[in-house]
Structure 1
């Protein structure tokens, strides 16, 4: 995993040297090409600022990267399981095809066995992998100014209704109902911990959430109501800025986020969110400590509710709040992400503090 790996500089030097000792243990994701490779890949080496390193293939796929066709980083998994090899090859041949369980069965594979194999190796099923790739392609076509039909075709959806349904599930709004004159713009944000959606105006960030967060459709519905239906898809300066800052955060360059924010909540919630932003990266606080910080020591439950209502993940770091007993407690993006974020952020602690798992107070 990312936080167990050597430093970014060490791994980049290993990439330049094509150090075989890291083979199977570390992979490099290249933002300029959208692919991930072994460190021994014979391709021309990318610039250091375009590289992110992970310890598993699954993390690379979850971050939205495709396997390199020169060094074949999926080969060990494919060799270990003929079903994986055949299905990955089929997906590469037809990335825009709308794969179904019947297609997998027609190829002679047991559905439950394939499902378990893909979940074990990649953390997602084959159908989820194929669908995510197609939907992302369609979303980005719209963000680049393409028409709905362009997005539908790029995503490989056979019908407009299927494409609308996929967007309705993701954004809470069918693709055909997106505003032609948006006040707020949704954009797709790939990260090492999974794809996210940002929603920005031309001057501020209003939402940043992982696409599998259960509350996302409701949050987007509220923003759509706030704009009186003027929620669309597109790219803005704040959207570009938050992507750059997230990239720097995961690469270990900085934990600071300077993108201007727009709060959608009560004055009390805003005070809680301001307090969250004051928690240094690599440290944690309890709900009680946050309540005391804002001058409302008895409002612990209200602080917890405001923490859960935060819709600008990572930038407003609600993942840095833990239970009074040191437990992780809930996190809308999943406890596994909360754990990873806390461990990733340990790199931002002063050297003398890095031996402590959780720093509070």
Structure 2
């Protein structure tokens, strides 16, 4: 824990008052319903004897509680904190601005609180998020054929070494070392749930991940070795296709994906990924249910490992796998994204059946 919680009677009083000062700092678990909420939740208040309090949403999930569908405790903090929302709005308005701690203090923010909130919900601090946003500008410049110095300036980096280091943390190597006519090409895709990196060949999509996923650098390096170093910046037809399909998905116009995929994994992992792709939007499966579906009921842990090794997010919907008790479980893109994706797909389900397309795949 980042800090000790006060006695339960104080937190229960905050729950009754819907005190926004505790948003993101404490959560209430209701024993009679198995649900956990923000203290500002508008739902009917439980009796004090049925409440347990935790400092993080992760602790609530570990205790076996499911997130409330009214207050969405796993949603980004921006949904409940105007100060956070204002920062994100400012970032969208001027993505090239070089934010400093001084800027945040001048806006009246407590740095430690801000850091904790952003790390909990986004996996990075606001300053790291702003830096990533600037890096996107440089990434786009390189993809359009621009020089490294042009990309550095477009990204707002005063230092070439700082730009190279930031780029290497994302892609595993400095931008100047990337070949121009590469077999695999990486491009940046912006979505309502955050920026994504897509890597494709002329015929297949090989990777689609959120840019802040911790495993991204390792996955990119593995693909680079697979392509014998022929990995660059730019676009191939599958990259353009998945960009358009993601746009339709988030616009509520279609939950099917037809971009051909190259799956880098064992025969067992590919079997699991095929089963994932067959889960209809709006539905979920447990790890044990997925293991039974592929005829390997004793391989629950192996199924979980294959699920975590998936490197084509959304298209191979590992976010549709939840705990046997209905609780959300780990997701490399963040639990708040997992909940939002499931909410998006529930809307598809309410709208009526959608044709499901399992993309053509090629073992790699």
* Fold shared by both chains (TM-score > 0.5): yes
Instruction: Spell out the pairing of 1:1-361 with structure 2 (5 A cutoff).
Output: 88=90, 96-101=96-101, 112=111, 115=114, 127-350=127-350
Deviation by residue 1:211-257 (Cα, 9 ceiling, x = unmatched): 11111111111011111111110011111110110111111111100
1:24 maps to what in 2?
A: none
**How many Å separate the matches in 1 of 2:214 and 2:181?**
28
- Are the equivalent residues in 2 in contact too, given 1:143–1:187 (CA < 8 A)? yes
Contact 1:118 1:126 in 2 (8 A): no
Seen in structure 2, the aligned counterparts of structure 1 residues 214 and 113 have a Cα distance that, compared at 3 Å, is closer
Residues 1:110 and 1:293: Cα distance change in structure 2 (over 3 Å): closer
Distance 2:110 2:348 in 1: 44
| Cα separation, 1, equivalents of 2:143 and 2:267 | 33
Shift of 1:104: 5.6
| Distance change >3 Å, CA 127–CA 316, structure 1 → 2 | same
Any gaps of 5 or more consecutive residues in structure 1?
Answer: 1-57, 63-75, 354-361
In structure 2, the partner of 1:21 is none
Q: CA–CA distance in 1 between the matches of 2:327 and 2:95? A: 42
Shift of 1:129: 4.8
Aligned length: 275
Question: For 1:162-216, what per-residue CA distance to the aligned partner results, in whole angstroms no more than 9, with x for missing partners?
Answer: 1111111111222122122311111001111111100111111000001111111
Deviations 1:11-69, CA, capped at 9 Å, x for gaps: xxxxxxxxxxxxxxxxxxxxxxxxxxxxxxxxxxxxxxxxxxxxxxx98x99xxxxxxx
Q: Distance in 2 between matches of 1:247 and 1:236?
A: 17
Q: Quick check: 1:99–1:127 contact (8 Å CA) kept in 2? A: yes
Contact 1:279 1:320 in 2 (8 A): yes
Partner SS state of residue 345, structure 2: helix
CA RMSD across the alignment: 3.4
Can you list the C-alpha shifts for 1:255-308, whole angstroms capped at 9, x where unaligned?
Answer: 100000000000010010001000000001111221122221211111111001
1:16 paired residue number: none
CA positional deviation for 1:110: 6.5
CA distance in 2 between counterparts of 1:285 and 1:118 reads 30
Q: Distance in 2 between matches of 1:256 and 1:298?
A: 31
1:350 deviation in Å? Answer: 4.9
Where does structure 2 lack aligned partners over 5 or more consecutive residues?
Answer: 1-74, 354-364
1:102-130 CA distances to partner (integer Å, 9 max, x unpaired)? 5666x69666279469959x977553453
Answer whether contact 1:144 1:235 (CA < 8 A) is retained. Answer: no
DSSP 3-state at the match of 1:185: strand
Query: Match of 2:203, SS?
Result: coil
Distance verdict in 2 for CA 1:189–1:275, change over 3 Å: same
CA contact (8 A) 2:115 2:126 kept: no
